[in-house]
Structure 1
Amino acid sequence: MRAEDLDEQFLIVPVDSDAREAARLVAEHNLPGLVVTDNHGKPHAILLASEMLHLVLPRYVQHDVTLAGVMGDALADGAGENLAGKSVRDILPRKPRTVPSVDVRDGVIKVAAEMAQLRTPLIAVTQNGKLHGVITASRLLAAALKS
């Protein structure tokens, strides 16, 4: 089995797309994150859902987690405000997680080894440098358990 046999079309966003829309896509599709592409359609970074969480928390809670206990459950109130007018580029971490990639012809053992070593929830599958699809860790695990 090759990487191209397991990859799937995955939601990707260009680096200059709307941050609020990107967060909405992650939430609506229960994704571990998004692949962010550069202006040429090449994988640029992974934006993890967990990295987006800091955008919905007030700064004072981020600095002192004990304050979270006294806040209400109005998490979404500030989320829209913190994302309004920002691009995905604006919300990427200072050192964005690069997109690990494998070639469409690589075997699943290589894919699994890369993902395990890098502890990444997803890996890009490329063909001639262009994004072909994405393999998530859960999809790879399901394939391994099936065989």
Structure 2
Amino acid sequence: MLARDIAVQVPTVTMNDPIGHAIQVMALGRLPGLIVLDERQRPRVVLPGTQVLRLAVPVAFQEDTALTRTVDEAHADVFWHEIRDMTVRECIGTHTPRPVMVKESATLLELATLMAKQRSPLVAVVDDAGLLAGAVTLDRLLSALALARPDD
């Protein structure tokens, strides 16, 4: 079985999309992460859900977690609203990791190795031109592995 056999179409965002939109796309799509595309529809970065969450949490709280206890419950539930209009590019900053991606012809072992090594529950699948052809989620990969049978 190859990546193209288990890849699915997933909603994506661009570097210019607001972080609020990115969070909504991930939540509504029940995605384990997000694929961020460049202007040519090529994966620019693949962000696991925890990284998307990290984009939404103001840096001051990440640097000093004791500050989180100073925010009352009502405001703690909507902390990310302050930055929801910032773009994905602004939240990622200058250091963007390489996208977690494979060619459509990648095997399940290649997918599993990449997901494990990169700690990413989402891998972009690209065609020969480098354009997004789909994505493989950890759930899809595990299901495919569980159903795979060795040839007799």
Is TM more than 0.5 here?
A: yes
Cα pair distance change 1:127/1:16, threshold 3 Å = same
Moved more, 94-103 or 34-43: 94-103
- 1:130 correspondence with 2:131: yes
User: Counterpart in 2 of 1:143?
Assistant: 144
d(CA) in 2 for partners of 1:110, 1:28: 29
So what's the TM-score if we normalise by structure 2? 0.82
The runs of 5 or more residues in structure 1 that have no matched partner are none
C-alpha change, 1:109 and 1:55, in structure 2 (3 Å) is: closer
Count of matched residue positions in the alignment of Structure 1 and Structure 2: 146
Query: TM-score normalised to the size of structure 1?
Result: 0.84
Deviations 1:100-131 (A, max 9, x none): 22111222122222222222211111112111
The answer on 1:96 being equivalent to 2:86 is no
Amino acid at match of 2:120: T
CA contact (8 A) 1:122 1:135 kept: yes
Gap regions ≥5 residues in structure 2 = none
**Cα distance between partner residues in 2 of 1:17 and 1:60:** 23
Identity of paired residues, percent?
Answer: 29
| RMSD (CA atoms) | 2.1
Q: Render the CA deviation track for 1:55-78: whole Å, top value 9, x for unaligned.
A: 554555333323434533233333
Counterpart CA distance in 2 for 1:52 and 1:10 is 16
Contact 2:15 2:36 in 1 (8 A): yes
Single out whichever of 1-10 and 118-127 deviates more from structure 2.
Answer: 118-127
Q: 1:114 to 1:145 in 2, by over 3 A?
A: same
